[in-house]
Amino acid sequence: MKITMLTNQKGPRISKYIYGQFAEHLGRGIYGGLWVGEDSSIPNKNGIRTDVVNALKAINVPVVRWPGGCFADEYHWKDGVGEASKRKTIVNTNWGGVTETNRFGTHEYFELCSQLACDTYINGNVGSGTVQEMQEWVEYMTMPGESPMASWRRKNGREDPWQVTFLGIGNENWGCGGNMRPEYYADLYRRYQTFVRKYGEQRISKIACGANSGNYQWTRVLMERAAHFMDGISLHYYTVPSGEWHDKGNATGFTEDEWKTTIKRAKRMDELISRHAKIMDQYDPEKKVGMIVDEWGSWYNVEKGTNPGFLFQQNTIRDAMVAAVTLTIFHQHADRVRMANIAQMVNVLQAMLLTEGDQMVKTPTYYVFDLYKAHQDGELIGTYSDPSSDTISYTASKKGETLTLSICNYDLSRTEKIALTQVGNAYHPLQGEYIAAETRDAHNTFDHPNVVIKKKFTGYKMQENTVTVIAPPMSVITLTFGK
């Protein structure tokens, strides 16, 4: 096939936040995965594991959404600040009915983000929380001057306010966040967001709870009634191979057909974004409101022998395909999609990293985020292919003098020979990196952590003005070009 890059065609900026992460109080996502405590024998800085932070820093995590998910609408932030030993112990009713110690709270979250050098996305509680509670949380986090909450923050050891970049006003309020009708939630949204006050110079971007996959009516009602009060509206969509929540399909040991349906379902993201965006355009033609896909990724049956409420699943080269295909779709809609947060960062669903005790392994999905990180804040450039392919996904962006092209070949067996041409300023390939696998459920384990890892890619050649790329089956490649 032939891919043409229109190197001078100026597209929208691909927000770095599209590469956002999500960490919920769910299973071993926080406890064990991120937080081990200061006294742990696992190397840590202020209780947060060093191996995990180092791995995440290497993929330039731009933002972490916290504390949920469904947990957010049951979370009462005051339980999670102050003297650790005195914090209230609660039941995590959404996720396994386990004890939540509140050991990881607001201060620990900001410590995590400071170690990752990333921005912050707090999800507030609308489902079971009060307006006052949310208002006071914002005051606690962001008030620079004197106030009851700012004094309490100082008493708890933090002098300066933190920066809250994004604030979600509830989560899945059509479901676990209160089973609300869109009309009712739209009114609640307007009310709660009113009391998200601006303290000092900080401007917090407010995110309304948006639709569950194809619920276009939710988006319509919210946009009609509350668009003026929001900076973003969310969208949640998960790739479930079977399409059935009671038996979603397994993370490993799946058939060729399951591979194909998984990719097909991942590609549905394009249709969902297009249709929700069309509705948003009616109420917000200037595209002031961002679409925030703050939950996405693959969702399989949990691994045998694990707590069903912990949503722990293996991660294979198939997940790498899901990630690459989805990130490419986000790029194509970068004019509207301003943030996306894969679910979830560590040990939950389509994770970047898996941990067990002091061990940690990087997943194939991690390597896609690594291969695609050069696109963060890049300018999308125009591309087209001939013939169009239903097994190759590709995306290109420009930043300064560097052009980055990423290609995913999600065919199970066919090597694709790609002739790459350029219209506009000519760039030369400088280097390539890739991941690939021999088997469709290839994955990394603690015993075999290097089955799918990033390697140097040499399967390209420049002749005259054409670059020939040989893309192996089940591979994701990034080529870097310079002038």
Q: Which of 295, 370, 379, 411 binds ligand AHR (CB under 6 A)?
A: 295
Neighbours of 254 (CB within 10 A): 19
Q: Does 343 bind ligand AHR (CB under 6 A)?
A: yes
Q: Are strands 402-409 and 475-482 parallel, antiparallel or unpaired?
A: antiparallel
Neighbours of 183 (CB within 10 A): 11
Residue with Cβ nearer ligand AHR (296 or 394): 296
Please choose, out of 66-74, 106-114, 260-268, 280-288, the segment that lies near ligand AHR by the rule CB under 6 A.
66-74
Please choose, out of 8-16, 65-73, 103-111, 467-475, the segment that lies near ligand AHR by the rule CB under 6 A.
65-73
CA atoms of 353 and 362, how far apart (whole Å)? 5
Q: Does 73 bind ligand AHR (CB under 6 A)?
A: no
Phi, psi of 131 (to 5 degrees): -60, -45
Q: Which of 47, 69, 232, 249 binds ligand AHR (CB under 6 A)?
A: 69
CA atoms of 352 and 383, how far apart (whole Å)? 29
Q: Identify whether 172 is a catalytic site residue.
A: yes
Which residues make Cβ contacts (< 8 Å) with residue 327, sequence separation at least 6? 18, 19, 368, 372, 375, 395
Residue with Cβ nearer ligand AHR (3 or 56): 56
Residue with Cβ nearer ligand AHR (123 or 383): 123
| Encoded tokens for 395 | 């995306």
Q: Which of 3, 19, 24, 332 binds ligand AHR (CB under 6 A)?
A: 24
Which of 375, 394, 238, 261 has its CA nearest to residue 313? 238
C-alpha gyration radius of the chain: 22
Q: How far is the CB of 171 from ligand AHR (least distance, A)?
A: 5
Please choose, out of 313-321, 342-350, 359-367, 417-425, the segment that lies near ligand AHR by the rule CB under 6 A.
342-350
Q: Which of 74, 295, 379, 433 is catalytic?
A: 295
Identify whether the C-beta of residue 65 lies closer than 8 Å to the C-beta of residue 340.
no
| Encoded tokens for 32 | 């064990």
Q: Does 168 bind ligand AHR (CB under 6 A)?
A: no
Q: How far is the CB of 175 from ligand AHR (least distance, A)?
A: 7
Q: How far is the CB of 374 from ligand AHR (least distance, A)?
A: 27
Identify whether the C-beta of residue 278 lies closer than 8 Å to the C-beta of residue 323.
no
Q: Which amino acid is at 155?
A: K
Residue with Cβ nearer ligand AHR (349 or 380): 349
Q: How far is the CB of 446 from ligand AHR (least distance, A)?
A: 24
Q: Which residues, in sequence order, are bridge partners of residue 64? A: 21, 120
Which residue's structure tokens are 């939540």? 100
Which of 462, 399, 400 has its CA nearest to residue 429? 462
Tallying the residues shown for the chain, one arrives at 483
Q: Does 70 bind ligand AHR (CB under 6 A)?
A: yes
Q: Shortest Cβ contact with ligand AHR: which residue?
A: 69
Q: Which of 142, 171, 262, 395 binds ligand AHR (CB under 6 A)?
A: 171
Q: Which residues are catalytic?
A: 172, 295
Residues that bind ligand AHR (CB under 6 A): 24, 68-70, 171-172, 295, 343-344, 349
